[in-house]
Amino acid sequence: MAGNGTASISAAERSAMARARELALLGPRGVNPQVGAVILSPDGRVLAEGWHRGAGTPHAEVDALSKLAPGEARGATAVVTLEPCNHTGRTGPCAVALLEAGVARVVHAAADPGEASSGGAARLAVAGVEVERLDEAEGEALIADWLFVQRTGRPRVTVKWAQSLDGRAAAADGSSRWITGPEARAHVHRERSAHDAIAVGTGTVLADDPKLTARIPGVDDAPQPLPVVFGERDIPAAAALRAHPRGLRTAGRDIEAELRALAADGIQSLYVEGGPTLASAFIRAGLADRFTIYLAPTLLGGPRTAIDAIGVGTIDEQRRLAVTRLEQLGRDLLVEATTESEQ
């Protein structure tokens, strides 16, 4: 039978689900979701663990089952962070693999949202396997960006800028280093590392020659975002970006089309760190989902505003945001917000 209650979930299954989430994070972010699985014996012992290592490789459940001898999974429980898939793509259906292995019970977290791949839980239940759902919210949080891509066809976009209290991103002569202090700049590097890609415009590349790497003290192998440069001007051969460890990707002016192309290549999240022109273009197009804004306690005046025209002509057209976090970073204030549709 299938259920979504938690009364029948054992302590061993809860522990296995926490472990499965840890295993999922060992896999890469990309076109497919990060998924972890743990196989438990009928008395709650861990028999095997597995995770998905990327497109074309065995899914987490199959990876775990492959570590068991034939018949060893009979009567076992599979605990997995995502509902077992029910379709044949580059690999076969995980629901069928579990049935063929003789698994008697499946506990999963998030439901599979795919039109072709969903239905695994129902298929298992019809075949007589006990199916329960556990920690659905945690399971969805684990693959939140991937789920966003499935719903929208594009990566989730975070737009970042730093500004003075009077809304300026630079002094009148264009100089901007540094408006914010070291604590805020360190936070930016952590944000870079937390995103799959980072975007700037060619104007920023030509003016600032940024590296766009994530540099975190004490962390030598911090995940690096793929740099994406929007615009049509050539990038100099000597630009610092050409030495980026992830390489370099160029993009045209059609932001929505470029975002869909990034999603097709497995990019789930994009951090827009360009200047006012690029940030405003994303906002104006309705393609900014989250905002990370650093407010420095300083006044600059002049024309160099942090945001340009975003298509707001009257007060009734204002783009309202929901503030999700306020934090003091040294002397600066971090404001994180989302569009109301993200709530």
Catalytically annotated residue among 13, 49, 61, 336? 61
Note the Cα 209 to chain centre separation in Å: 27
**Quick check: helix, strand or coil at residue 313?**
coil
**Quick check: helix, strand or coil at residue 181?**
coil
Known binding site for substrate: residues?
176, 192, 212, 215, 273
**CA-CA-CA-CA dihedral for 59, 60, 66, 71, to nearest 10:** -110
61 classed as catalytic: yes
Q: Supply the pLDDT for residue 343.
A: 54
Q: Supply the pLDDT for residue 136.
A: 87
The pTM for the full model equals 0.87
Question: Between 1.10.10.10, 3.40.50.720, 3.40.430.10, 1.10.3720.10, what CATH number should domain 154-342 receive?
Answer: 3.40.430.10
Q: Supply the pLDDT for residue 217.
A: 87
Q: Apex CA 225: angle with CA 222 and CA 231, to 5°? A: 155
CA-nearest of 302, 274, 305, 304 to 288 is: 274
Known binding site: residues?
59, 85, 94, 162, 176, 178, 192, 204, 208, 212, 215, 273, 275-281
Segments making up each domain of the chain, as ranges: 11-149, 154-342
Please tell me the chain's helix, strand, coil percentages from 3-state DSSP, rounded to the nearest 5.
Answer: 30, 25, 45
Q: Supply the pLDDT for residue 1.
A: 44
Known binding site for Zn(2+): residues?
59, 85, 94
Q: Supply the pLDDT for residue 221.
A: 85
- Could you count the other beta carbons within 10 Å of the beta carbon of residue 86? 20
Residue at token pair 């775990």: 64
Q: Supply the pLDDT for residue 3.
A: 53
Q: Supply the pLDDT for residue 341.
A: 62
Give pLDDT tens digits along the chain (343 positions). 455 444 589 999 999 999 999 999 999 998 889 999 999 999 999 999 999 998 889 999 999 999 999 999 999 999 999 999 887 766 678 999 999 999 999 999 999 887 767 789 999 999 999 999 998 899 999 999 999 999 999 999 999 999 999 999 988 888 878 899 999 999 999 999 999 999 999 988 988 889 999 999 888 888 999 999 999 899 999 999 999 999 999 999 899 999 999 999 999 999 999 889 999 999 999 999 999 999 999 999 999 999 999 999 999 999 999 999 999 999 999 999 999 665 5
User: Which CATH code is given to the segment(s) 11-149?
Assistant: 3.40.140.10
